[in-house]
Structure 1
């Protein structure tokens, strides 16, 4: 398979990250020690290459919204975890009742991790993982009832990805995406100051509202909600007893702030649901 230089760099970057943390990377910063001991291979490398995991301590609200969309109608569905990483969401979909779940990723290390984790979690017979180029998958037209994507679109050629996702979804299928936003200057400044955490392509292709809205070329319906602005202020206190009540308060403030059109762009994360794929 002939891959562009940017994809080879993505493979190198992803293989390294998946070799350091074998599963549940978004829970490692504030997790029980057993989780870190089980899945974190190199503590010093983890501290360097996953230093941004502390920010995911505040993402319960966006994950909860994502899950409410994702698991609606999941029982009996044929599902895809698109750019699945270590396969955690594919496994969750299987546990929620999906009839069959596929996971694809460009990293062989990620796919190996996902297969092992699915067996460990008792859903290896439901999940099937494969190394695949997400812009040119091997799936037939109209294969999936639901597709999950998390933090992958900004690694890809966006029109190619949207076109492929529209093609492989059934006419009544749904695509549920979670992506970071590029509009907040402080957040984007942090990205540029931490090059070890992401590839150069990734930094330059973080999605904004125009890119998200461009998906309406490939899907007739888009629902979007943004998350996490004031809540970022709770991150330094994540290990203290005050954290949970403070986060609840700041999430309430965010619901007000992010209802204002001009402030929506300043959020860290957007959760999107695309429906009604437009078939070529």
Structure 2
């Protein structure tokens, strides 16, 4: 993207970021307000510090974090994808949370790494992390993911990491297609809805999720819907049994070997905890 186009994009983000331009906050529906409040609490450093003071409280809100030690392969896949597709490009971390993916894109040589989130606390965290890492090729701003207000065809690559199930896809997919440049692509990483053991875990840990996200974990119907807007490619399944070991390193190697097998078996791989897929916008 030419430097003048980058400047125009940054000017547009400045407009989005103006206090008086945030009238859209008052127009958010109840679902989006609940998401904003939930993630402001979840990512507030003071709240996290207080939660950590009580093991029971911390485990209640963050108990599933121990399972994330088991997803190294899918994390490496995502990190490699970002490094390959962000270098020299305009990259967007869509509903960025604390901005891990945007920061990784910036370190990987993105011309401009953007992150947007409905949570203003998340945006403040992202800006602080970018400053601490000395990254000058980032911009973080508060926005509605279903109506970003970004220009048409303004982004080369997008990462959607564990957040599509928070959104109404009938708005999110058209918005993603609108802002993505022709020939651009999106990597989506989401939980898969079919494993009964994981569904039971979600039921037993209701405070970790909003009511909306619990009811909208992605499945194959959502992939079919995505095909109305994009070419869907490179669907992959991850972690069919590996999470069961938690932090038990003695069994992690065995479970990982089983995962590598099960992830390739049709039908069995539908029990995966996580799946990834790419959305491609056709070149004009």
TM over 0.5: yes
Per-residue CA deviations over 1:229-268 (Å, capped at 9, x if unaligned) read 1212321515xxx3xxx42332221122121211121000
Q: Which residue of 2 aligns with 1:35?
A: none
Q: How many angstroms apart in 2 are the aligned matches of 1:211 and 1:278?
A: 23
Which structure 1 residue ranges, 5 or more long, are not aligned?
A: 23-38
Determine the C-alpha separation between the residues in 2 that align with 1:21 and 1:207.
32
CA distance in 2, matches of 1:89, 1:118: 12
> What TM-score do the two structures reach when normalised by structure 2?
0.85
**1:82 counterpart (85, 94, 97):** 94
| RMSD between aligned residues | 1.8
Structure holding more helix per residue: 2
Whether the aligned pair in 2 keeps the contact of 1:169 and 1:277 (CA below 8 Å) is: no
Instruction: Tell me by how many angstroms 1:221 deviates.
Output: 3.5
TM-score normalised per structure 1: 0.86
Structure 2: distance between partners of 1:40 and 1:98: 33
Change (3 A) 1:21 1:214: farther
Match status 1:72 vs 2:84? yes
Q: State the match for 2:262 in structure 1.
A: 257
Is residue 223 from structure 1 mapped to residue 228 from structure 2 by the alignment? no
CA offset digits 1:48-92 (Å, max 9, x no partner): 211110110101011112222222142211010000001111111
Residue correspondence of structure 1 range 32-43 to structure 2 within 5 A: 40=49, 42-43=51-52
**Count of residue correspondences:** 256
Alignment partners' CA distance in 2, 1:173 and 1:41: 42
Structure 2 counterparts to residues 35-54 of structure 1, below 5 A = 40=49, 42-43=51-52, 44=54, 45-54=57-66
Q: Secondary structure at the match of 2:227?
A: helix
2:158 corresponds to 1:147: yes
Flag as ranges the 4+ runs of structure 1 deviating above 6 A.
none
Structure 2: runs of 5+ lacking an equivalent: 1-23
- SS of 2:86's partner is coil
Residue in structure 1 matched with residue 126 of structure 2 by the alignment: 114
CA distance in 1 between counterparts of 2:143 and 2:260 reads: 38
